[in-house]
Structure 1
Amino acid sequence: MSAGEHVVVVGLGFGDEGKGAVVDALCADGPVSAVVRFNGGAQAAHNVVVGDRHHTFSQFGSGTLAGVPTWLSRHVLVEPIALATESRELAALGVDDPLGMVSIDADALLTTPFHVAANRAREDARGRDRHGSCGKGIGETAWYALLAGRGAGRGDVVEGQEVPGTPGPAPTVGDCADPVLLRRKLDVLARCYEPLIGDGISVDDLVALYRAFAGAVRVTTGDEAGRLADAGRLVFEGAQGVLLDETHGFHPHTTWSTVVPRNAKALLNGRSARVLGVTRTYQTRHGAGPLPTEDAAVLARFPERHNGTGEYQGAWRAGHLDAVLLRYAVAACGGVDGLAVTHLDAPDLRVATAYRTGATRVAELSTPSVAGCVPELEALPDPVAFLEDLVGAPVLVTGAGADRADYAVRTPVPR
Structure 2
Amino acid sequence: MAGYVVVGTQWGDEGKGKIVDVLGSQVDLVVRFQGGNNAGHTVVVEGKKHILHLLPSGVLHENAECIIGPGVVVDPFVFLEEVELLEKGGISSDHIYISERAHLIMPYHIALDKYQEEYKKDNKVGTTKRGIGPTYADKFTRIGLRVGDLKDFESFKKKLAFTLEMKNLEITEMFHKEPFDLDEMISQFEMVREKLLPRMINAMVVVNKALEDDKFVLFEGAQAAMLDINYGTYPYVTSSSPTSAGVCEGVGVSPKKLDRIVGVVKAYSTRVGEGPFVTELLDEKGDYIRENGQEFGATTGRPRRCGWLDLVVVKHACTINGLTDLVITKIDILSGLKEIPVCIGYEIDGEIIDYIPASVEDVAKAKPVYEILPGWDEDISKCPTWEELPANCRAYIEKIEAYTKTPASMISVGPGREHNIYRKDIIEK
Give the TM-score range, shorter chain: 0.7 to 0.9
For 1:21, what is the secondary structure of its paired residue? helix
Write the deviation string for residues 3-25 of structure 1: whole angstroms up to 9, x where unpaired.
x7421011011111111011011
Question: Is the Cα contact below 8 Å between 2:277 and 2:364 reproduced in 1?
Answer: no
Write the deviation string for residues 376-395 of structure 1: whole angstroms up to 9, x where unpaired.
22323433211111121211
1:258 maps onto 2:271 in alignment: no
2:365 pairs, out of 357, 360, 372, with 372
Write the deviation string for residues 63-101 of structure 1: whole angstroms up to 9, x where unpaired.
1223233111111111110001111221232202x2x22
How far residue 52 of structure 1 moved from its aligned partner, in angstroms, is 3.0
1:55 maps onto 2:50 in alignment: yes
How far residue 218 of structure 1 moved from its aligned partner, in angstroms, is 3.5
Distance 1:291 1:306 in 2: 16
Query: 2:11 maps to which residue?
Result: 14
Counting only pairs closer than 5 Å after superposition, residues 218-233 of structure 1 correspond to structure 2 as 218-220=200-202, 223-231=205-213, 232-233=215-216
Counting only pairs closer than 5 Å after superposition, residues 28-39 of structure 1 correspond to structure 2 as 28=25, 30=26, 32-39=27-34
Question: Which amino acid in the other structure matches residue 353 of structure 2?
Answer: V
Distance 1:189 1:352 in 2: 48
Question: Is the Cα contact below 8 Å between 2:20 and 2:58 reproduced in 1?
Answer: yes
Q: Provide closer, same or farther for how the CA distance between residues 298 and 233 of structure 1 changes in structure 2, counting only shifts above 3 A.
A: farther
Question: Is the Cα contact below 8 Å between 1:16 and 1:284 reproduced in 2?
Answer: yes
1:71 pairs, out of 67, 70, 74, with 67
Greater helix share, 1 or 2?
A: 2
Query: 2:178 maps to which residue?
Result: 198
Query: 2:263 maps to which residue?
Result: 277
How far residue 309 of structure 1 moved from its aligned partner, in angstroms, is 9.2
Q: Provide closer, same or farther for how the CA distance between residues 116 and 330 of structure 1 changes in structure 2, counting only shifts above 3 A.
A: same
Q: Provide closer, same or farther for how the CA distance between residues 374 and 272 of structure 1 changes in structure 2, counting only shifts above 3 A.
A: closer
1:113 maps onto 2:107 in alignment: yes
For 2:341, what is the secondary structure of its paired residue? strand
Query: 1:305 maps to which residue?
Result: 294
Question: Is the Cα contact below 8 Å between 1:25 and 1:407 reproduced in 2?
Answer: no
2:131 pairs, out of 126, 137, 148, with 137
Question: Is the Cα contact below 8 Å between 2:40 and 2:298 reproduced in 1?
Answer: no
Distance 1:69 1:58 in 2: 18
1:322 maps onto 2:310 in alignment: yes
Distance 2:100 2:253 in 1: 18
How far residue 130 of structure 1 moved from its aligned partner, in angstroms, is 1.4
Counting only pairs closer than 5 Å after superposition, residues 340-359 of structure 1 correspond to structure 2 as 340-346=327-333, 347=335, 348=337, 349-359=340-350
Question: Is the Cα contact below 8 Å between 1:283 and 1:320 reproduced in 2?
Answer: yes
For 1:239, what is the secondary structure of its paired residue? coil
How far residue 368 of structure 1 moved from its aligned partner, in angstroms, is 5.2
How far residue 230 of structure 1 moved from its aligned partner, in angstroms, is 2.9
1:389 maps onto 2:402 in alignment: yes
Question: Which amino acid in the other structure matches residue 13 of structure 1?
Answer: Q
How far residue 406 of structure 1 moved from its aligned partner, in angstroms, is 1.1
Q: Provide closer, same or farther for how the CA distance between residues 101 and 305 of structure 1 changes in structure 2, counting only shifts above 3 A.
A: farther
Q: Provide closer, same or farther for how the CA distance between residues 95 and 350 of structure 1 changes in structure 2, counting only shifts above 3 A.
A: same
How far residue 252 of structure 1 moved from its aligned partner, in angstroms, is 1.2
Q: Provide closer, same or farther for how the CA distance between residues 51 and 412 of structure 1 changes in structure 2, counting only shifts above 3 A.
A: closer
Write the deviation string for residues 166-222 of structure 1: whole angstroms up to 9, x where unpaired.
xxx321110111110111122222211113153245222233134223334243265
1:126 maps onto 2:106 in alignment: no
Distance 1:246 1:18 in 2: 21
How far residue 306 of structure 1 moved from its aligned partner, in angstroms, is 6.3
Distance 2:154 2:270 in 1: 46
User: Which sections of structure 1, spanning at least 5 residues, go unmatched?
Assistant: 149-168
Q: Provide closer, same or farther for how the CA distance between residues 222 and 379 of structure 1 changes in structure 2, counting only shifts above 3 A.
A: closer
Please give the TM-score of this superposition, normalised by the length of structure 1.
Answer: 0.87
Once the two structures are overlaid, the 10-residue window that deviates more, 194-203 or 293-302, is 194-203
Distance 1:357 1:300 in 2: 27
1:268 pairs, out of 247, 253, 259, with 253
1:175 maps onto 2:158 in alignment: no
Question: Is the Cα contact below 8 Å between 1:26 and 1:409 reproduced in 2?
Answer: no
Query: 1:337 maps to which residue?
Result: 324
How far residue 350 of structure 1 moved from its aligned partner, in angstroms, is 2.0
1:249 maps onto 2:232 in alignment: yes
Q: Provide closer, same or farther for how the CA distance between residues 222 and 341 of structure 1 changes in structure 2, counting only shifts above 3 A.
A: closer
2:159 pairs, out of 174, 185, 188, with 185
Write the deviation string for residues 364-413 of structure 1: whole angstroms up to 9, x where unpaired.
23535413211122323433211111121211222111111112444359
Question: Which amino acid in the other structure matches residue 387 of structure 1?
Answer: I
Distance 1:39 1:310 in 2: 16
After superposition, the CA RMSD in angstroms is 2.2
Question: Is the Cα contact below 8 Å between 1:245 and 1:260 reproduced in 2?
Answer: yes
1:291 pairs, out of 270, 277, 280, with 277
Question: Which amino acid in the other structure matches residue 146 of structure 1?
Answer: F
Question: Is the Cα contact below 8 Å between 2:267 and 2:329 reproduced in 1?
Answer: yes
Query: 1:95 maps to which residue?
Result: 91
